[in-house]
A and B are shown apart, each in its own frame.
Chain A
């Protein structure tokens, strides 16, 4: 029976690979594949092919003998926290996640439960091996033996994988014996709390008194002392045994250090196979949730598979008036899933902080300056990343294109309606960040020569330019959906892999380039008006006027783009767009 399951895995993997290779016949995937490969090479493989001599020498010092103990204890502590979390946090019965097809074929088939577990463990090794590859390529930069690192990562990840599964089985066993999640949690927290108090007492009496320090070097020294002396090294000892093989300097050292970890691995494997826990029912539910998450991710939803709650509409939609407003309204309701009260409260708190920063209080000046700088940074990033994060537009509705095309609306009305909501949301965020950034700038420059008129004038100009500029920035990804619908086929299998990653890189760079080119005429107008008016009046007047003029230019570009997008939408024939 295991042979059939291995065949299933092998055939699926092989066919997926072949499908991806065949996809490379299409130029868009081939180019994407090349760009993706270049990116991966420069990000991961460059150091591997250049040899160990090219690893930054500063990183090699990480694995000095005195650091090994700190890393071993620190990593052991981290593993301990992860494992404890797996005992405390989950509130579901044991569930092995299979695809819906696997459930349909395997659960009614005469396959033993133990065989299914073995199959699941075998398949999880594919994911683990891929993760090992990525982790090794990353950790390779810190020096050390590549093979030892790879084997070390494999040991740690495999044990964790088995442990999580074993804990889920134990949890189910406890539930079957009437021990609820809360009783289990209270018991574990009691043990952990008691141990923590005991350890704290030990530290208090055995370690020299710690002084309050503020220099990074002194802080690191304190951390080193806590990690390597006192009770902590003993408390996390089993976890240190797992980390130790990774830290070995050569293969011999690895083999000597690995046997306790291998014993832990085998003990876990024995328990997981021996535990006769009914996971089928929970697995069906888990697989359904997985299918929903995949479908949501394919539809471009950030919170895929999460619970969607009904939201109060942002305003009452009258039955008469421009139908474009109906789309604006609908997309604001959709954005309510992400752009909710919590986010507004956070932003409001930031604005209050900005107000205090601008009021000139001498307390917490550094923090407010930092906050202001953060806001400024967020402002810049919002222009670049806003259109990627907020997608309550054509990208979200593309799967509904058939339905929308039946509506008695002009194409440009649909296009405008789709663009409005994310642009308005982004503008609101930027308008909230603007005073915060302004406050930070003023505080940072306190005492220095600063032209307040210029700063406030430019802030006003930015506030004026933001709405049309945001509309323009949303035009680009939305127009891409209409021009290259095959790349956004949300109801089909979403392409992934190196070529799809390359496509996204190309798309992002293209968006930035088009935005830059589109902003050039507005930039020229802005500069011209600014120079002329500045000569006659101050920054106070010149910058907002120039901003208004630039906003008009961008708005005209947006109008042209909306009309074009409307035509493309009217001509769009999704059924003609084949391809994977």
Chain B
């Protein structure tokens, strides 16, 4: 569903992402992890079509994002860490606007259901300025889900959510994965990635350090160590000292 081949992004001489290739199939959730400056955000921005890659190709549901951006973008949704909303549109007006942009013909029942699910029905005619951080996040999610995307990208999805919201967000992502969506989650919260994702991709300095299922990765990096969580994997995989010794 998501197929990335040789993705490279340069800023002048600086290589932000270098020859990155991976695939995410329906029903898979890929955790994109790496230290600060590893290239996670740049990768996500390329995957969503926000910035064009310098080299390489990205296919979304068999549509080349570079060649057929409209068709590809119809299939995806991007949930940024900071909800991006229009100050002057109410909650409902955001959904009306999104429906037109994504050409969602029968959007009213879907929108009503999303608002109910996300506990936003009572805030239907309220502007974003009057919403809490968590509610803004929920509105951004409602807008993203309105066109039933088959590919979803989450950038730090738990930022600003209360424990109740965190639980609901995790459940929601897992449900979409079970329903056959392809999901990419970029996060520093390794326990979240470990809990939700089926696959992990570890980036460092714009390069892929490791890629595979959670079990494969753990086996590869923690052979004979005795502990088996993603945090240990992360530190072993991204450690300069031990990098060369990792099998």
Q: Tell which of A313, A408, A573, A576 touches B101, judged by Cβ atoms closer than 8 Å.
A: A408
Distance in Å from the Cβ of A334 to the closest Cβ of chain B? 4
In residues 81-140 of chain B, which contact A (Cβ within 8 Å)? 84, 86-90, 93, 96-97, 99-107, 125-127, 129
Count A interface residues, CB 8 Å. Answer: 33
- In contact, B86 and A408 (Cβ under 8 angstroms): no
- In contact, A317 and B97 (Cβ under 8 angstroms): yes
Distance in Å from the Cβ of B38 to the closest Cβ of chain A? 15
In the complex, which residue of chain A has the Cβ closest to the Cβ of B83?
A: A403
Q: How far is the CA of A408 from the CA of B127 in the complex (A)?
A: 25
- In contact, B93 and A313 (Cβ under 8 angstroms): yes
In the complex, which residue of chain A has the Cβ closest to the Cβ of B103?
A: A320
- In contact, A406 and B100 (Cβ under 8 angstroms): no
- Pick out which of these stretches binds chain B: A72-80, A325-333, A368-376, A537-545: A325-333
Q: How far is the CA of A16 from the CA of B77 in the complex (A)?
A: 40
In residues 172-212 of chain B, which contact A (Cβ within 8 Å)? none
- In contact, A406 and B105 (Cβ under 8 angstroms): no
Asked if B18 is at the interface of the complex by the 8 Å CB criterion, the answer is no
In residues 131-172 of chain B, which contact A (Cβ within 8 Å)? none
B93 neighbours in A (Cβ, 8 Å):
313, 330, 333
In the complex, which residue of chain B has the Cβ closest to the Cβ of A392?
A: B88
Task: Given A406-B48, A406-B49, A573-B51, decide whether A310 and B101 contact each other with a Cβ distance below 8 A.
Answer: no
Asked if A319 is at the interface of the complex by the 8 Å CB criterion, the answer is yes
Taken residue by residue from 323 to 349, chain A's Cβ proximity to chain B (1 for < 8 Å, 0 otherwise) reads as 101100110011011000000000000
In the complex, which residue of chain A has the Cβ closest to the Cβ of B41?
A: A575
Task: Given A317-B96, A320-B105, A326-B100, decide whether A310 and B80 contact each other with a Cβ distance below 8 A.
Answer: no
**Most B Cβ at <10 Å: residue of A319, A323, A409:** A319
A329 neighbours in B (Cβ, 8 Å):
97, 100
B107 neighbours in A (Cβ, 8 Å):
319
Taken residue by residue from 144 to 168, chain A's Cβ proximity to chain B (1 for < 8 Å, 0 otherwise) reads as 0000000000000000000000000
Q: How far is the CA of A321 from the CA of B99 in the complex (A)?
A: 11
A448 neighbours in B (Cβ, 8 Å):
none
Q: How far is the CA of A320 from the CA of B49 in the complex (A)?
A: 23
B49 neighbours in A (Cβ, 8 Å):
405-406
Distance in Å from the Cβ of A215 to the closest Cβ of chain B? 51
- In contact, A308 and B50 (Cβ under 8 angstroms): no
Q: How far is the CA of A334 from the CA of B128 in the complex (A)?
A: 13
In the complex, which residue of chain B has the Cβ closest to the Cβ of A292?
A: B129
Asked if A278 is at the interface of the complex by the 8 Å CB criterion, the answer is no
Asked if B230 is at the interface of the complex by the 8 Å CB criterion, the answer is no
Asked if A571 is at the interface of the complex by the 8 Å CB criterion, the answer is yes
A6 neighbours in B (Cβ, 8 Å):
none
Count B interface residues, CB 8 Å. Answer: 40
In the complex, which residue of chain A has the Cβ closest to the Cβ of B91?
A: A310
- In contact, A323 and B101 (Cβ under 8 angstroms): yes
Distance in Å from the Cβ of A452 to the closest Cβ of chain B? 44
B37 neighbours in A (Cβ, 8 Å):
none
Distance in Å from the Cβ of A402 to the closest Cβ of chain B? 5
- In contact, B50 and A310 (Cβ under 8 angstroms): no
Q: Tell which of B52, B73, B88, B105 touches A308, judged by Cβ atoms closer than 8 Å.
A: B88
Q: How far is the CA of A346 from the CA of B44 in the complex (A)?
A: 50
B126 neighbours in A (Cβ, 8 Å):
310
In the complex, which residue of chain A has the Cβ closest to the Cβ of B51?
A: A573
- In contact, B89 and A321 (Cβ under 8 angstroms): no
Q: Tell which of A319, A334, A402, A575 touches B80, judged by Cβ atoms closer than 8 Å.
A: A402
In residues 48-89 of chain B, which contact A (Cβ within 8 Å)? 48-52, 69-74, 76-78, 80, 84, 86-89
Task: Given A310-B127, A406-B76, A407-B101, decide whether A400 and B52 contact each other with a Cβ distance below 8 A.
Answer: no
B86 neighbours in A (Cβ, 8 Å):
330, 334, 400
| A residues apposed to B, CB below 8 Å | 308-311, 313, 317-321, 323, 325-326, 329-330, 333-334, 336-337, 400, 402-403, 405-410, 570-571, 573, 575-576
Task: List the 5 closest pairs (A to B, CB-CB), nearest first.
Answer: A408-B73, A326-B100, A403-B84, A319-B99, A334-B88
16 residue pairs of the A-B complex, CB under 8 angstroms, read: A308-B88, A308-B129, A310-B127, A317-B100, A319-B107, A320-B105, A330-B89, A333-B93, A334-B86, A400-B86, A402-B84, A405-B50, A406-B50, A407-B102, A409-B70, A571-B52
